[in-house]
Structure 1
Amino acid sequence: MTTSPEQSAPGWVRRHRRVLTIIGISVVALLAIAVSAFLWWANDTYPAEPAGLAAVQEDPRVDLDDRGDVVILRPTGEDDGRGLVFLSGAKVDPQAYAATFQEVAAEGTTVVIVKPFLNLAILERRPLDAFTDLVPEVGSWAVGGHSMGGVKACSYAEPGEVDALVLLASYCSGDALASSTDLDVISVSGTQDGLATPAKIDDSLADLPASTTVVRIDGASHAQFGDYGVQPGDGTPTISDEEARESISEALVPFLDPS
């Protein structure tokens, strides 16, 4: 009768191999659980508030085109030839920014709201033209984002690619743009923001061009830059969502279309 290499090995070797096998299976199982948990967490998004989304869909001045990974808002009236590629905040459905940019689009600027890879902008690897090519009639582009989306937007703000950067309750992760002289930048934040706090915004301004337009909305919280309800860790707003959106529009409309 023949014996296998496993059977002929000393007992301690067989025990060692069994232990390694058990450890290997356990590690794979733990990794599978961790990946599954991460995917569940990343896809547990903040959805758009139905009433705000319905108001945009019913607005005759705006056309909303939801393509799954992007939401495109176009003016139905006169087009100013400008566009904004906007990256959603972490785990926020792009539809939640339709209400934010309703007036911007109604005034003539096309807005492409991006749903980043796995709903996390820091994982997004598509080039900017993957979004700008969706609206070839637009001649001049800005890029921007909310929260984590704004951090990623800073990396797209290359000279010659875009001429403006829009940061909503956000900031750049480094000072690569600080010395830029051909990029218009606006930073809009809220005084009640518990995530991108006023102190964090103030500290980040040194990373932006000296010509940056800084707008602070008194009483606005982090989540009010979208329309998706309450966000854990945020501050308590002292103004209504409608008042916050009005202030955001008052800042962005003239910035995006200075003519």
Structure 2
Amino acid sequence: MNKFKKIAKWSILAIITVIIVAAIGFKIYTKGYYKADMDTITAIETRLEGSVNSYSDENGMVFLPETSVPKAVIVFYPGGKVECQAYSGLMYEIASRGYICILPRMPENLAFLRINAVEKITANYMDDVDSVKNLDWYIAGHSLGGVAASLYLEDKTDDYAGIILCASYPNADFSDKDIRLLSIYGAEDKVLKADAYENSKAYWPEDSEEYIIEGGIHSFFGCYGIQDGDGTPKISNTEQISETADMIASWIEG
């Protein structure tokens, strides 16, 4: 009996040790995230002053077009280990073209930890949500944020008109779903896994469109510099963001 107790004791200690080491490792992993390039974002915000209003709380940010009637709502999931505010430049550009944009904050900057983030940010504004329920809603995301968005959409296809993937791919099967899909990536992207991307096309719905940004890279859908392993851009960060916003607007309105 004493031998059994001793084995049980050491087994419990071993399990606790593994959990602690894993928790520390995870914290170290998430601590090294990409921070928003506020100089680039401020330049975009200043240029679009008067055409977009933005609001934020602990759950995320909302961007509202001020010079036109909203055409649709876009919920955008940030890429993995990227500060959500890094995508506010893209949100300003899209909103200036007439779209309400919702940008959720993610715990530890990982969308996989809060796949239902859109529900978290809209829960406190149900009157505002009800006022735009007549509009088409789209879910979108960059990189791992797009993968997380696709997992959320899997059981919500009746609530959304489509999904917009920036340097990303779906991890859920929409091949028999009545939704639209837009895939955008940069020609110089060295982060997006080509095999996984091509294999994911089996999950694309019938109404899908692919757009390649010449000279674009993985990182320039946000404003956070160039992440490790990415390619060399042949266009500027602001040019890629503007082209992305143009393509999204053209696709939705088309």
TM-score over 0.5 for the pair: yes
**Contact 1:89 1:148 (C-alpha < 8 Å) held by counterparts:** yes
Deviations 1:148-195 (A, max 9, x none): 111111123333211121100000114x20122x31211001111112
Q: Match for residue 111 of structure 1? A: 101
Partner SS for 1:98: helix
Identity of aligned residues (%): 25
RMSD over aligned Cα atoms: 2.4
Deviations 1:31-88 (A, max 9, x none): 2232023123224321110112223443221112222331111112223241111111
**Quick one: structure 1 residues 91 and 102, their matched pair in 2 at CA, closer, same or farther if it must change by over 3 Å?**
same
Structure 2 residues not aligned, in runs of 5+:
none
From the two aligned structures, give the one with the greater helix fraction: 2
Q: Match for residue 122 of structure 1? A: 112
**Quick one: structure 1 residues 199 and 30, their matched pair in 2 at CA, closer, same or farther if it must change by over 3 Å?**
closer
Q: Provide the TM-score with structure 2 as the length reference.
A: 0.84
Partner SS for 1:111: strand
Pairing 1:39–2:35 present: no
Shift of 1:30: 4.3
**Contact 1:189 1:198 (C-alpha < 8 Å) held by counterparts:** no
Q: Match for residue 207 of structure 2? A: 211
Whose radius of gyration is greater, 1 or 2? 1
Q: Provide the TM-score with structure 1 as the length reference.
A: 0.83
Matches of 1:230 and 1:165, distance apart in 2: 25
Structure 1 residues not aligned, in runs of 5+:
1-8
**Contact 2:77 2:140 (C-alpha < 8 Å) held by counterparts:** yes
Pairing 1:177–2:181 present: no
Q: Counterparts in 2 of 1:1-259, with a 5 A limit? A: 21=9, 24-25=12-13, 27-58=15-46, 59-126=49-116, 128-133=118-123, 134=125, 135-136=128-129, 137-139=131-133, 140=135, 141-157=137-153, 158-174=156-172, 176-180=173-177, 182-258=178-254
Deviations 1:85-134 (A, max 9, x none): 11111011111111112221012101101222332222224364434454
Matches of 1:138 and 1:114, distance apart in 2: 18
